[in-house]
A = this chain, B = another copy of it.
Amino acid sequence: MALDTRERVRRAAVKLFADKGFHGTGIRDLATESQLSTASLYHYMGSKEDLLVDIMRRCLQTLLDTATAELADVEDPATRLRKLVKLHVRAHARMPRETRIVDHEIPVLSPAVRRSVIGLRDSYERLWADAVADGVEAGVFTTAHPGVTRLALLEMCTGVARWYSPRGSLPLDELASHYADVALRAVGACSQSAAEGQSRGE
């Protein structure tokens, strides 16, 4: 099944934006990587920035949709946090370039579109904030500074995109579980709790 050209352009952009940065990637680089002429490129994209926005939105939307779906009927805060961590780690390990682009290139966006992308990111992060807040409120998490903790965990998990390699010795699922353990310890939740037990079924 041949790769549709539009998709080829997107993949080229993901690769280059992640590896060389948005400003470090030229239209010619994109054209070469897409095996297209620079002029043809413009049949499959709007501007260079449109391409960037498209990549960012898809990535964030995927994250948001997946998380929303997974958390749909989960009440227990520990389980919710556990699921968020695992999902986040897995996503960043599997789409390291897309997530790194979201992580690095937001400041290059023009104001209007930046706001909307940040809105999307905030929606996603609110899921984390809520999970932590709920846990604290329910008394299952004991952390003096929930906001800080949330940021610390997010950064830790996001960092996976900067070093994970599928050739590493630790299988991705175990890695994700390991991160979840660290996270639960960080919020002071007993990791031998039901949350852990429930996770066995995943």
Contact = CB atoms under 8 A, between A and B. Distances in A.
Interface string A159-200: 110110000001000010011001001100000000000000
Contact of A151 (B104, B108, B151, B163): B163
A158 interface: yes
8 contacts: A21-B107, A24-B107, A149-B178, A151-B159, A152-B156, A152-B159, A155-B155, A185-B186
B152 A179 contact: yes
Contacts of A148: 170, 175, 178
Number of chain A interface residues as a range: 20 to 34
A182 B153 CA distance: 10
A3 B145 CA distance: 38
A144 interface: yes
Contacts of A155: 155-156, 158-160, 162-163
B178 A144 contact: yes
A186 B191 CA distance: 12
